[in-house]
Amino acid sequence: MATAGSDISTPRSTSPSSVFSGRSSHTSVASKRLSLSLQRRQSAFNPMSSVDIASIEQRMKMAALDGLRGYAQDHYGEVKQDHTTEYIPKSAAGGYQVLREPLWNKGLSFTPEERVSKNLTGLIPHAMENTDTQVERCMKMIRSRSTPIDKYLYLSSLKSQNLDLFYRVLIDNVRDLMPLVYTPTIGDVCLQYSTLYTRPEALYISIKQRKSIRTILRNWPHPNPEICVVTDGSRILGLGDLGVNGVGISIGKLALYTGAAGIHPEKTLPIVLDAGTANEDNLKDPLYLGLRAKRPSLDVMQEFMDEFMEAARDVFPEMLIQFEDFETEKAFNYLSRYRDQYRCFNDDIQGTGAVVLGGYIGAVNLSNVPLDDQRLVFMGAGSAGVGVAKQMVEYYTRRGLSEQAAKDKFWLVDTKGLVTWDRGDKLPEHKKYFARSDNNGHQFRTLEEVIEYVRPSALVGLTATFGVFTESVVRALKASVDAGGSGRRPILFPLSNPLTKAECTFEQAVQWTEGTVIFASGSPFSPFAVKSGDAAVTYWPNQGNNVYVFPGLGLGAILAKASKITDEMVYMSAASLAESLNAEEIQKGLIYPRIERVRDASLVVAREVMKAARREGVSMLPEEQWVEWEEWGDVALTKYIKDRVYDPLK
């Protein structure tokens, strides 16, 4: 019998609420099962359940962005402008006309007399500052920015307001600021150009307006530019096809023509040829500023380039054209096609080759490896790699080797391995010059295999692949050099830009070679100190940046009025760079001048380029001018150059 405290329940003792609760629980479970069953059935009969909605939406967005869909792509109209732009001359400008023109604005450097004559009273603070104070303010603002892009944007803003001050800041602080106006920061700027865009800084020539190129060129506000940097954005640094965003590289390069060589900013012209892009990210970006189309065929692009070159010569007959960051096949083709007809050169091929050769000349002197024992492996066989190697072949032919004997000192490696005639693939034209035929049918697929086979004294990287010079690769290079005799030093040039594409770092190179390496990179590295007991040994990196060559080469060609850029002029830019080091730099074991002395180096390069133009018979300067210099020598020619360079606020 159950008691009051019993756990045993009987029908009589069960409460109504307990019964309801139990039924409710059973009903809830059943409902859930039914719901899941219904969902499964509905899903099975739902025709949209297997459709990728996100993919459809993405295609619809792309279609909405494609404003050229359905139109003929091979008909081009010509822009007809009914009048030319009339600009106020500097002598007549006053007030905000002066302050809003960066070429005329002097900020707080205007004298009291200028403030009165130009109607500036009250428009700027009632303070007059010297250059040092203004530069100090700018540098304080730059240092307050947290990221390189933010620093670049501040400098870009300064440049748009006061060119003299911008270039004074750049010239006086070139070590800190060159990485911001050029590599590595300019790579990030190009990647984001369409997002960062606030104002035009260049000429943007679309293939859609190819019949209007002369009109577009005449719209440039500054008469008679002397140097133009043109790109189609198809191979920007190691970042690939950036389309119209690649215009940042033209802008950055020309800032260095002014900062490093003193070409007046009014005489520079950045241009991008917009023929579309193969970059899917750009095509999908609603903010992308370029032609939203795939690139045309090489034949169509060749026609477009022919039209541009002809129009540029017609409108600006004295202008030197520098080709920049065209993809490899086009880079070689354009240089070969135009070099004898126009004032032009390719910095990726000739400039990179010259600056690396200039460093290599110094490196050979420090390496203690005789010329006969020098063997070079190149990792990377694109336009830069082949261009550099060809420049270095000339170094050996000038020292008595036949062209074939000089060429035999070079082994080029690409993504398929050692470049040979019999490895089974069709070699691009530019690789054939260095293709090996002495491999006895054996193919070397990896860089390690090539080093073991060649036993090189130097390793050069132009791959745009970070870390491809591994510890095993670098140690193998050192071992091959050590095997030749004591006191010998390996030469290691990881030259790819930006830093994220460098084949190895300076610290790695020092550690993996026990400090014996002779090192040069494309982007800047900091000195590296190694402790030895209580003392420390500081190792100094070299930056084989094209800025040591192209500004001086351009300045020399402009001042010599060269009708074309010859191989001799390019070679002399390298040879003179190698001779421009001072005693302190030599004692530190450097192979390039300190970047703070880049203007000194550019002056030497420009002088020797001018002399080479004279020897080659391409200088269009009056004969009596050369007779005077040939009487008085370098002193007179150097003074001539110095008198014509832009050195603001001095």
Among 438, 43, 322, 499, smallest CA distance to 507 is for 499
C-alpha 140, offset from chain centre: 27
Q: Walk across the sheet containing 268-274 and list its strands.
A: 203-206, 268-274, 227-231, 320-323, 344-346
Angstrom CA distances, 322 to 319, 564, 620, stand at 10, 12, 19
Which pLDDT value is given to residue 258? 98
Please give the average per-residue pLDDT across 507-522, as a whole number.
96
Fold: same for 350-544 and 549-642: yes
Residue 348 annotated as binding? yes
Which has more pLDDT, 72 or 38?
72
Q: Is the pLDDT at 551 greater than 70, yes or no?
A: yes
Which pLDDT value is given to residue 11? 38
Residue 145 annotated as binding? no
* Beta pairing class for 491-494 and 535-539: unpaired
Tokens standing for residue 377: 């492996």
φ, ψ of residue 57 to 5 degrees: the values are: -60, -40
Angstrom CA distances, 271 to 246, 325, 646, stand at 10, 12, 22
Among 287, 196, 281, 182, smallest CA distance to 241 is for 281
Contacts of 370 (CB under 8 A, 6+ apart): none
Q: Is the pLDDT at 35 greater than 90, yes or no?
A: no
Evaluated on CA atoms 348, 351, 353, 357, the torsion sign reads negative
Q: Is the pLDDT at 238 greater than 50, yes or no?
A: yes
Confidence category of residue 30, pLDDT binned at 50, 70, 90: low
Instruction: Give the integer Cα–Cα distance in Å for 581 and 460.
Output: 22
DSSP state letter for 619: B
Instruction: Give the integer Cα–Cα distance in Å for 650 and 646.
Output: 10
Instruction: Give the integer Cα–Cα distance in Å for 55 and 73.
Output: 27
Among 402, 406, 440, smallest CA distance to 420 is for 440
Given the residues 182, 288, 334, 548, the one annotated as active site: 182
* Beta pairing class for 528-532 and 535-539: antiparallel
Instruction: Give the integer Cα–Cα distance in Å for 588 and 540.
Output: 7
For residue 494, say if its preceding peptide bond is cis, omega within 30 degrees of 0.
no
Among 359, 358, 373, smallest CA distance to 487 is for 373
Which pLDDT value is given to residue 26? 53
Which pLDDT value is given to residue 3? 43
Which pLDDT value is given to residue 5? 41
pTM reported for the whole predicted model: 0.87
In 442-534 the beta strands, taken as DSSP E runs, fall at 458-461, 491-494, 518-521, 528-532
Helix 567-578, helix 598-616: angle, nearest 10: 140
Angstrom CA distances, 129 to 126, 132, 266, 647, stand at 10, 8, 25, 18
**What number of residues does the chain have?**
650
Which pLDDT value is given to residue 9? 38
Q: What does the domain layout of the chain look like in residue ranges?
A: 350-544, 549-642
Instruction: Give the integer Cα–Cα distance in Å for 617 and 255.
Output: 30
For residue 225, say if its preceding peptide bond is cis, omega within 30 degrees of 0.
no
Tell me the residue type at 576. S
Instruction: Give the integer Cα–Cα distance in Å for 330 and 310.
Output: 17
On the 0-12 / 13-18 / 19+ scale of CB atoms within 10 A, 38 is exposed
Q: Is the pLDDT at 61 greater than 50, yes or no?
A: yes
Q: Which residue has the tokens 């000038």?
A: 398
Instruction: Give the integer Cα–Cα distance in Å for 393 and 388.
Output: 9
Residue 459 and residue 469 in contact, taking contact as beta carbons nearer than 8 Å: yes
Residue 365 annotated as binding? no
Instruction: Give the integer Cα–Cα distance in Å for 234 and 329.
Output: 11
Maximum distance among all alpha carbons in the chain? 137
Which pLDDT value is given to residue 51? 75
> Which residues pair with residue 345 across a beta bridge?
322
Quick check: is 182 catalytic?
yes
Among 451, 443, 445, 442, smallest CA distance to 469 is for 451
Q: How many CB atoms sit inside 10 A of residue 186's CB?
A: 25
Among 527, 493, 463, 546, smallest CA distance to 186 is for 546
Among 16-20, 426-430, 527-531, 584-588, the minimum mean pLDDT is found in 16-20
Instruction: Give the integer Cα–Cα distance in Å for 358 and 493.
Output: 12
Residue 159 and residue 166 in contact, taking contact as beta carbons nearer than 8 Å: yes
Which pLDDT value is given to residue 434? 96
φ, ψ of residue 400 to 5 degrees: the values are: 100, -5
Q: Please report how many Cα atoms fall inside a 13 Å half-sphere around the Cα of residue 184, on the Cβ side.
A: 19
> Which residues pair with residue 231 across a beta bridge?
272
Confidence category of residue 41, pLDDT binned at 50, 70, 90: low
Among 32-36, 55-59, 235-239, the minimum mean pLDDT is found in 32-36
Confidence category of residue 33, pLDDT binned at 50, 70, 90: low
Instruction: Give the integer Cα–Cα distance in Å for 593 and 25.
Output: 86
Q: Which residue has the tokens 């026990």?
A: 514
What is the distance in angstroms between the CA of the first residue and the CA of the last residue of the chain? 116
Residue 214 annotated as binding? no
DSSP state letter for 649: T
Q: Is the pLDDT at 441 greater than 60, yes or no?
A: yes
Residue 235 annotated as binding? yes
On the 0-12 / 13-18 / 19+ scale of CB atoms within 10 A, 546 is buried
C-alpha 184, offset from chain centre: 8
CA dihedral 194, 200, 205, 209 (to 10 degrees): 100
Residue 497 annotated as binding? yes
pLDDT tens track for 120-165: 999 999 999 999 999 999 999 999 999 999 999 999 999 999 999 9
Q: What share of the chain is helix, strand, coil (3-state, %, to 5)?
A: 50, 10, 40
Q: Which CATH superfamily hosts domain 350-544?
A: NAD(P)-binding Rossmann-like Domain (3.40.50.720)
Please give the average per-residue pLDDT across 435-449, as a whole number.
95
Evaluated on CA atoms 437, 438, 443, 449, the torsion sign reads negative
Given the residues 106, 118, 159, 253, the one annotated as active site: 253
Which pLDDT value is given to residue 4? 41
Instruction: Give the integer Cα–Cα distance in Å for 308 and 202.
Output: 15
Instruction: Give the integer Cα–Cα distance in Å for 413 and 446.
Output: 8
Q: Which residue has the tokens 């250059």?
A: 131
Tokens standing for residue 157: 């803003």
Q: Which residue has the tokens 């215009």?
A: 247
Which pLDDT value is given to residue 523? 81
- CATH of 549-642, picked from 3.40.640.10, 1.20.120.450, 3.40.50.10380, 2.60.40.3880, is 3.40.50.10380
Please give the average per-residue pLDDT across 82-104, as a whole number.
95
pLDDT tens track for 577-595: 999 999 999 999 899 999 9
pLDDT tens track for 186-201: 999 999 999 999 999 9
The mean pLDDT value of the chain amounts to: 91
Please give the average per-residue pLDDT across 341-355, as a whole number.
95
